[in-house]
Amino acid sequence: MPPAALEAAPAGGWLRGPAAARSIPFALYIVFLALAPLIEKALPGWNVRWLYAVQIAAVSAALTFFAQGYVELFTPAAVRTRDWLLSAGIGIAVFAAWIHLDLPWAVLGEAKGFVPLRADGALDWALVAVRLLGAAAVVPVMEELFWRSFVLRWVDRGDFLRLAPAAASLRALLISSLLFGLEHELWFAGLLAGLAYGWLYRRSGSLWPPIIAHAITNLLLGLWVVQSGSWRFW
């Protein structure tokens, strides 16, 4: 088994256990998403767009706090060159699919999107930079730790760290990918992304290829949104 599969649970109770280490940063991210509209109503004069910076800072702090438990990120399984190339190709393919799958049946709710414009209509480059940094550097690590490292393997085995990525079942891949899709407003695009990242995780045996693929997708999507002004995709 690769090192990630043999990782031992750290001492210190559930809050320092492997499931919590992968769940709490993700839960923080979701809590901020839920609070945003409430804060916007309670503080109408405050630019709620800057809440994203606080959200990313909180998630980064949680990832740093639990970092010692992410053994698979520091002692990853050997990754073949073809899998690194696949991660780049998958990242690009998911981006291309994402921007073409905003079909009525494939969308949950109505997205407002993140609009980094000043009052005069010009881009607020500080907001753009924060959004790109969060989407391309923090979110991929947080989501892959939760969805692939934890949920994908936990569906098959409660002590998920002892299950090698390659041993995860097709059932686990489908369930985790569907849940990953439902996390996003573009649920079908999210489902396809979850299948692609999960397949790459199982194939490579390492969490880094799906993290890189996810980061490429998010970076390309962010750059495209800024260039095209299609804010609903953000």
pLDDT of residue 54: 94
**Residues in a beta bridge with 123:** 117
- Domains in the chain, number: 1
Say whether pLDDT at 23 is over 60.
yes
Say whether pLDDT at 5 is over 80.
no
Say whether pLDDT at 4 is over 60.
no
Q: Is 63 exposed, middle or buried (0-12, 13-18, 19+ CB in 10 A)?
A: buried
Closest CA relative to residue 144, chosen from 229, 73, 222: 73
Mean of pLDDT values over 10-32:
85
Q: How confident is the model at residue 199 (pLDDT cuts 50, 70, 90)?
A: very high
| Residue 94 lies in domain | 3-233
Q: How many residues are present in the chain?
A: 234
**Residues in a beta bridge with 117:** 123
Give percent of the chain with pLDDT exceeding 70: 92
- Of 113 and 166, the structure prediction assigns the larger pLDDT to 166
Q: How confident is the model at residue 8 (pLDDT cuts 50, 70, 90)?
A: very low
Per DSSP, helices labelled H in 7-124 are: 18-42, 51-65, 71-74, 81-98
Mean of pLDDT values over 152-167:
97
- Tokens representing 123 are 């881009």
pLDDT of residue 49: 82
Using one digit for the tens of pLDDT, what is the confidence trace for 53-96?
999 999 999 999 999 999 999 877 789 999 999 999 999 999 99
What single string gives the DSSP state of each residue in 134-197?
A: IIIIIHHHHHIIIIIIIIIHHTT-SSGGGS-GGG--HHHHHHHHHHHHHTSSSHHHHHHHHHHH
- In the three-class reduction of DSSP (H, G, I as helix; E, B as strand; rest coil), residue 156 is classed as coil
pLDDT of residue 22: 98
- CA–CA distances in Å: residue 226 to residues 128, 129, 131, 154: 8, 11, 11, 37
Say whether pLDDT at 133 is over 50.
yes
- CA–CA distances in Å: residue 88 to residues 41, 59, 82, 206, 225: 41, 25, 10, 15, 20
